[in-house]
Amino acid sequence: MRRGRRLAVDVGEARIGVAASDPDGLLATPVETVPGRDVPAARRRLAALAAEYEPLEIVVGLPRSLNGREGPAAGKARAFAGQLAKDLAPLPVRLVDERMSTVTAAQGMRASGVSAKKGRSRIDQAAAVVILQSALDTERATGNAPGECVEVVV
């Protein structure tokens, strides 16, 4: 397992959830929800978070359907990750499968007694936690960095 903090991003239409790991890569915790409609402002906020947390890498959730296909949401996540990789170069940005992350996050929040109405502002953070924890667990189990690295195209 590589030592170093990671940041995870759950890209949505209206909001972007952000989570961070501890330096040992054991536990993912929520950081904040960034408003996503103003994409340049969101990218600036993510760059500020990257400067603050000094992560080893950024993990971006790639929404695939249950059969593994990529639809329009995956295309948006790929485009966002590509731009983020340019903004933050040479910091690596990785795309990881996020199937069911929002569903898992919502179930966890409901189980802890958070109502859907109250949890709406935190669901994106919780989904980012699920994405990052999955990536950390995958790396710990396989010894390989999770997902695919986003190539910076100049």
Residues 67-83 have pLDDT tens digits of 778 888 899 999 999 99
What is the rounded end-to-end Cα distance, in angstroms, of the chain? 31
Q: Give, as one character, the DSSP assignment of residue 18.
A: E
Domain membership flag for residue 56: yes
pLDDT for res 59: 97
Domain membership flag for residue 33: yes
Domain membership flag for residue 1: no
Strand locations in 67-117 (E)? 93-97
Domain membership flag for residue 90: yes
Q: Which residues of the chain have pLDDT under 70?
A: 100-121, 154
The pTM assigned to this predicted structure is 0.87
Domain membership flag for residue 27: yes
Q: What are phi and psi of 79, to 5 degrees?
A: -65, -45
pLDDT for res 57: 97
Domain membership flag for residue 152: no
pLDDT for res 81: 96
- We report the CATH number of the domain holding residue 26 as 3.30.420.140
**CA-atom Rg of the chain in angstroms:** 14
Domain count, the chain: 1
Domain membership flag for residue 146: no
Domain membership flag for residue 119: yes
Residues spanned by the domain of 90:
6-141
pLDDT digits (tens, 9 = 90+) for 97-116: 887 555 565 666 666 666 65
